[in-house]
Amino acid sequence: MLYPAIYGNDPLFPHYRDFQIVDKDDLVGKGVISFRAFERGALIAKITGERTSDIRQHTLQIDSDTHLFDTWFSGYFLHSCDPNISLSMKDMTVTALKDIAPNSFLYMDYAETEDHLFRQFPCSCRASNCRGWISGRKELPASQLHALSATIGTGGHY
């Protein structure tokens, strides 16, 4: 299993034979690659980790006050505006949104789980529906904040 023994041995936890955290490229860094195929709607894995009140890099929001810190699996899911996986933070599960071929990276939409991100950044997913900037679902993208600030600073209207 990818998770240390302190989290137990749930048979739905991800295994080394099925997944690995690897360097994708210099732009996005590390991501989770799946060595096996999954059909749309399939349960991919159950997730776990340390629960914390802090928003950190590699955390996923469970509720408004709690985050899951997972540096063994789900904390390395890459972002896409057209993701191939979905997370249920209530059930702590990962499900395939579309068919996933072997040797594919797992992509989630960070706005699915996060109200606010540890750090916003430009999106490089190249999906046809790309939002251009990765932010939490309850925060304005930094690119809009800069434009708003410039408008307010010059006495303009917003």
- Extents of the domains making up the chain: 5-114
Provide long-range contacts, Cβ within 8 A and 24+ apart, for 136-141: 136/110, 136/111, 137/111, 137/112, 139/115
pLDDT tens digit at each of 158 positions of the chain: 999 999 999 999 999 999 999 998 877 789 999 999 999 999 999 999 999 999 999 999 999 999 999 999 999 999 999 999 999 999 999 999 999 999 999 999 999 999 998 888 889 899 999 999 888 999 877 655 545 445 555 555 44
Q: What pLDDT score does 158 carry?
A: 45
Fold of 5-114: Beta-clip-like (2.170.270)
